[in-house]
Structure 1
Amino acid sequence: MPEAHGTDEVSDARPGPIRVVIADDHALYRQGMAIVVELDGAAVVVGQAGNGGEVVDLCARLHPDVVLMDVRMPVVGGIEATSRLHAADPRIRILMLTMSDDESDLFEAIKAGASGYLLKDLPGEEVADAIRRVHDGQAIIPPGMAATLLQEFSRLSQAGSVPEGPEPTTLTDREVEVLRHVARGMVNREVADALGIAENTVKNHVRSILEKLHLHSRVEAAVYAHQQRLVPPDA
């Protein structure tokens, strides 16, 4: 199973253990995941919910840092719950839990405000690492799903179904360069090597790009770059 890779977002991480809520309609899975989450000591599970309605109410009281959200749950599904949570508190990072790496709801989940996807059969250490990464402001998407996501965004962009953001004139020339590389799927280290600058400088540029364009993740930034034709269509 491929390892989940991260991409930067603006971080609202708080000090102390990462406070996690788990939402899944299978009690045994929730209990097992709770053990996995707390195993390395970086996170603590502060609540569990069996459906989307419960998790929305729970998060309103507990204000967790990260929610592990099953895609398919009774009463209120994971995507609808993600949309409600993101609207109520955008600081909460939401990782969708799915059984399949070709999950058809990926695009809808990202649009709803999810910070990424976790495959349910990932090893425990990768789950813990993904929680730390998303808490630090990264988007977690398995490699096999990233291409599908970008293709779907590009298709809807061409059809006019994805609203365009501010003009790229709000960006500096260097930020446009960084954005072009991001849109090609390059990670910070690769962008730094390509442009001959420090990796931390790239991180600062990515943060500035997201803030200026009112975007939440590199995935959205990549879509924006293609919308604005900052990269060739076949890039």
Structure 2
Amino acid sequence: MTVDEQRAEEVLPTPSEANPIRVLIVDDHALFRRGLEMVLGQEVDIEVVGEAADGAEAVTMAKEMAPDIVLMDVRMPRRGGIDATSAIKEAVPSAKIVMLTISDEEADLYDAIKAGAMGYLLKEISIDEVAADIRAVYGGQSLISPSMASKLLSEFAAMIKNKDDRPQLPTPRLTDREMEVLRLVAKGMNNRDIAKQLYISENTVKNHIRNILEKLQLHSRMEAVVYAVREKLLEIT
């Protein structure tokens, strides 16, 4: 994705009843899909355009419907959610995918990020929070449960220890403020919380994140965290 494409994604039309966020729900439990559909159906700016019971069906439906957001379970029959995420991102690059799962395995989180997911949420969150999370991802934010954020950093800390002898590549220089923002992103904080923490506006946070992505030539906040940990730009405690 080019810088221009990243900026174009940030200038999305404001969702409304006339222009709702189109959502595809993917989960192998029919009862969960129905419950989620009922909750989201009460939101005037969100429209559930389809449901899929496994990854294979999700890929087919995503190609046909080109949803804005895909809520994707991780472990499903026939084709898992992570493999389906890779396929959907290749076929429908504009679709933003959020993993909504019971799996708190570090490997699943890591693989989901590599596959292109913009969020990783555990099903322990309140179902009423899902609508707000959908709006946040549609608006360009990446979401990750705080407990999973710490696991992500632990996973990459272990990777670093195992690869200390690999050649170190030169890395772009981030400003002190950009490093502050990146550290808070790594803790799972959203733009609003980062703005409060640093006493700056949300727009300023967005600008810092955009600059970080441009400098690192990456596509998402989570990829930036992964990169920063791998290249030892962030200290792991």
CA contact (8 A) 1:100 1:119 kept: yes
In the TM superposition, 1:194-209 aligns within 5 A as 197-209=200-212
**What fraction of aligned residue pairs are identical, expressed as a percent?**
53
The one-letter code sitting in structure 1 at the alignment partner of 2:211 is: S
CA contact (8 A) 2:146 2:189 kept: no
Name whichever of 78-87 and 150-159 sits farther off. 150-159
For 1:215, what is the secondary structure of its paired residue?
coil
Deviation at 1:143, TM superposition (A): 1.3
Map of 1:5 onto structure 2: none
Map of 2:93 onto structure 1: 90
For 1:40, what is the secondary structure of its paired residue?
coil
CA separation in 2, counterparts of 1:158 and 1:103? Answer: 16
Deviation readout 1:159-190 (Å, 9 max, x if unpaired): 34999887214x55654554455456665466
CA contact (8 A) 1:94 1:113 kept: yes
Map of 2:149 onto structure 1: 146
CA separation in 2, counterparts of 1:63 and 1:136? Answer: 17
CA separation in 1, counterparts of 2:64 and 2:140? Answer: 22
CA separation in 1, counterparts of 2:104 and 2:236? Answer: 25
Map of 1:167 onto structure 2: 171
Name whichever of 203-212 and 150-159 sits farther off. 150-159
Residue 29 of structure 2, aligned match among 26, 38, 47: 26
Q: How many residues align?
A: 224
CA contact (8 A) 1:150 1:219 kept: no
**1:117 paired to 2:120:** yes
In the TM superposition, 1:30-179 aligns within 5 A as 30-102=33-105, 104-160=107-163, 167-169=171-173, 171=174, 174-176=177-179, 178-179=181-182
CA distance 1:99–1:14, shift in 2 (3 Å): same
Higher relative contact order (CA 8 A, sep 6+): 1
For structure 1, which runs of at least 5 residues remain unmatched after alignment?
1-9
CA contact (8 A) 2:72 2:100 kept: yes
CA contact (8 A) 1:101 1:142 kept: no
Deviation at 1:121, TM superposition (A): 4.4
For structure 2, which runs of at least 5 residues remain unmatched after alignment?
1-8
CA separation in 2, counterparts of 1:217 and 1:145? Answer: 17
